[in-house]
Amino acid sequence: MTEAILLVGGQGTRLRPLTSHTPKPLLPVAGVPFLTHQLARAAAAGVTRIVVATSYLAELFEAEFGNGSGLGLKLEYVTEETALGTGGAIRNAAERLHSAPGDPVLVFNGDILSGVDLAALRDGHQASGADVTLHLKRVPDPRAFGLVPTDTEGRVQAFLEKPRTPEEITTDQINAGCYVFTRSVIDRIPPGRVVSVERETFPELLTSDAHVRGVVDDAYWLDLGTPAAFVQGSADLVRGRVASPALPGPTGDALVLPRAQVHPSAVLSGGTVVATGAVVGEGAVVEGSVVMADAHIAARAGVYASVVGRQARIHEHTRLDNVVVGDGAHVAEGNELPPGLRIACGAHVPAYAVRTSAAPTACTAPHSERHSSAA
């Protein structure tokens, strides 16, 4: 398996305003663009050539990674002029593949952080003679996902829509968004039109009695589509809960990138990342958060399970709790922003405009016990 297709066409609407100017796969996660972790893991599994299927802000991917030589890869880019769905995107990208009809091709999504063993997935696919192998994940609550039941030998039995009632939950196995296709199967997807691989391609393969194999494992898996998941994935990489060859420093409680400035009295914890050029001032507390390049956290501010965008400024005695602050935004002194709030890029929140308690100085002390679910 030397070739892969990487799907990165989504607009990342659930992560706005972070994705207003940056595609979701290029957002910094644990100090580097998220896609860097995925590309490095694919390279470690023996992949040498990847076709990147782009759409939203497509030009930024090639600007970031070029021809892929910096990661030991050969990258090519294919841009969808109109949305083609997952199956259509795979078929469109396949025009650039060099693989023979019987060769395995890795297909994976640009918004999933996973510890699945890609080489083992490939080896099992080839040994079984499967047409397609799917990585499946067991989740405690599968109601938000399509269900993929398998038999005792791992053959997929059906692809079921999101369950609406408890009686419809027949399995806790979901499609984890990573596949190994035999190349000839990709070539059977109709070209030039919208195709859903989940609703059309896979069910049709079952109807034609193809060998569709599911592999369930307990490896780390997280969809980074929401701000809370984005923060959690970054923190988990920093703390070593999921491995990546692209991590730009040792694992630990915090990652401070070169040319960042952190005052000796500041407290960083919970897998926090402080990016290049960012400043964290005297007595500030930053826990389980992502502070992007050139952002400024002023003295005695408190930032918890939050994202502070590029060149954003968080002023003194301000507290952020599970908040997203867009690029270039300013949050003035004394604000205590409630969980779930999102500040648009370039917006200014005036002093004491938002208060969640009567004690603005509460942000001067760490509150590690408050955010175990976000780290």
Binned at pLDDT 50, 70 and 90, residue 15 comes out as confident
C-beta of residue 284 within 8 angstroms of C-beta of residue 267:
yes
3-state secondary structure of 206: helix
Can you give the pLDDT at residue 359?
36
Tokens of 198: 């989940």
Can you give the pLDDT at residue 370?
30
Binned at pLDDT 50, 70 and 90, residue 371 comes out as very low
Mean pLDDT for 178-185 is 96
Binned at pLDDT 50, 70 and 90, residue 287 comes out as very high
Which has more confidence, 191 or 167? 191
Per the prediction, the chain carries an average pLDDT of: 89
- Tens of pLDDT along 123-147? 999 999 999 999 999 988 888 888 8
Can you give the pLDDT at residue 11?
76
* CA 262 – CA 265 distance, rounded (Å): 8
In this predicted structure, the answer to whether residue 114 has a pLDDT above a threshold of 70 is: yes
* CA 200 – CA 189 distance, rounded (Å): 9
- Tens of pLDDT along 296-322? 999 999 999 999 999 999 999 999 999
Can you give the pLDDT at residue 81?
82
* CA 101 – CA 129 distance, rounded (Å): 13
Binned at pLDDT 50, 70 and 90, residue 356 comes out as low
Can you give the pLDDT at residue 354?
77
- For residues 78-94, b (16+ Cβ closer than 10 Å) or e, as one string? bebeeebbbbbbbbbbb
Domains of the chain: 3-223 (3.90.550.10), 253-374 (2.160.10.10)
- Tens of pLDDT along 263-282? 999 999 999 999 999 999 99
Can you give the pLDDT at residue 13?
82
Tokens of 328: 């270039």
